[in-house]
Structure 1
Amino acid sequence: MAKHSPLDDPQTATYAWARYRRLMRFMFMLTVAVVIIAMALIYKQNGMISVHFFIATALGIGFSMLLMSALMGLVFLSSGTGHDESVEDPLKDETDQA
């Protein structure tokens, strides 16, 4: 039987998801700032290249940063709420005997 997760409690879950959304808003603002700085530096060093280059670079930087921050935010959410400790390890008995 699975252990009780702290995220099953509505109050804890509400607080945890609000914290996650706050982290994602901050990371979105940081991502926009980094993309703007990167575009300015590329323009300063190379002048006006193809507009497609700027679009691809902005999307690449933006998507990568937002994906990494979303995944790391979920790791922090899981660890910070105690959800990780509620997972039952079926291999625990095997590793203890070895």
Structure 2
Amino acid sequence: MVPKSPLEDPQSAAHAWARYRRLMRFMFGVTVGVVAIALALLYKTEGSVSVHFYIAVALGIGFSMLLMSALMGLVFLSNGTGHDASVDNRLPKSDED
């Protein structure tokens, strides 16, 4: 019998997802700040280059940071709620022992 995940409880799941959304809002703010600082530093050091360069840098940094924070947030959500502990990870016995 596989134990139930704590995320199956609606109250526990609502709390966990609210915490995840709060983390993502915080990381969005951090990402906007990092992109702004990176663009300012690039403008200061490189000067006047194509606008496409700045767009590519902003999208590259922004997408990378948001993707990494979303995936790490899901890891924190899974571990923090006990969802990882409810996984049945027992392997069948092999005959080659």
TM-score (norm 1): 0.92
Q: Which residue of 2 aligns with 1:71?
A: 71
Q: Which residue of 2 aligns with 1:26?
A: 26
Measure the CA separation in 1 of the matches of 2:20 and 2:60. 23
What one-letter code is carried by the residue in structure 2 that aligns with 1:54?
Y
Report the Cα offset of residue 48 of structure 1. 1.3
More helix by share: 1
What one-letter code is carried by the residue in structure 2 that aligns with 1:55?
I
Matches within 5 A, 1:53-68: 53-68=53-68
Gaps of 5+ in 2: none
Task: Report the identity percentage.
Answer: 71
Query: How many residues in Structure 1 have an aligned counterpart in Structure 2?
Result: 96
What one-letter code is carried by the residue in structure 1 that aligns with 2:81?
T
Measure the CA separation in 1 of the matches of 2:27 and 2:93. 41
What per-residue deviation string (whole Å, max 9, x for no partner) do you get for residues 36-63 of structure 1? 0000000000101100000000000000
2:33 is the alignment partner of 1:45? no
What one-letter code is carried by the residue in structure 2 that aligns with 1:19?
R
Report the Cα offset of residue 90 of structure 1. 3.4
Gaps of 5+ in 1: none
Measure the CA separation in 2 of the matches of 1:17 and 1:11. 10
Report the Cα offset of residue 4 of structure 1. 0.4
CA RMSD of aligned residues (A): 1.7
- Extract structure 1 runs of 4+ deviating beyond 4 A: none
TM-score (norm 2): 0.93
